[in-house]
Amino acid sequence: MWIRIDSHSGVPIYRQIAAQIEQAVLSGVLQAGDKLPAVRELAVELAVNPATVVKAYAELQLGGLIEQPRGRGTFVLGRPVLAAAQRHERLKSAVEALLVEAERLGFGPDEVLAELRHALQEAASHDPDGEGERHVGR
């Protein structure tokens, strides 16, 4: 599984799980109709309590990203359409998380900015016409 748990991040584990699944949906890695692992299966794989996965799935279901038809499993509903304000807030949160992690690792603002510029240049070089989606870091 591509979900990674960071026990030192200060972010609750259920939120880490939900955020990574949500990001996979938003980026197109997970598509509408894709089946997610069963609660117990994912809990074993991530070495977390099943209640943690239940909480993550509940958050995703409330957000309209997944559905859990009784007895059939957990499925991705598809990419949500986000309002401009929601998109901006998510970008702001992602930038804040990046800055917290960079500071934790001992990087200064100039180093963070240089790395971000490099990543943007790399992304642009993979999509020279500006068409389609850019996937920084892929």
Q: Cα-flanking dihedrals φ and ψ of residue 111, to 5°?
A: -70, -40
| Average confidence score pLDDT of the chain | 85
Q: Residue 82: what pLDDT?
A: 60
Least confident interval from 87-91, 110-114, 120-124? 87-91
Tell whether the torsion through CA atoms of 124, 89, 28 and 80 is positive or negative: negative
Q: How confident is the model at residue 2 (pLDDT cuts 50, 70, 90)?
A: confident
- With cut-offs at 50, 70 and 90, classify the pLDDT of residue 134: very low
Give 90-118 pLDDT, tens digit per residue: 788 888 888 888 999 999 999 999 999 99
Give the per-residue pLDDT at 1. Answer: 64
Q: What is the pLDDT of residue 26?
A: 82
pLDDT in tens, 45-81: 999 999 999 999 999 998 888 999 988 999 999 776 6
Domain edges within the chain:
13-76, 84-126
Kindly state the tokens that stand for 6: 């960071």
The confidence score (pLDDT) of residue 132 equals 44
Domain 13-76 sits in CATH at 1.10.10.10
Q: Are 121 and 107 in contact (CB under 8 A)?
A: no
CB 43 within 8 A of CB 50: yes
Burial (CB count within 10 angstroms: exposed 0-12, middle 13-18, buried 19+), residue 42: buried
pTM: 0.61
Three-state SS at 76: strand
Tokens (6 digits) for 34: 């894709």
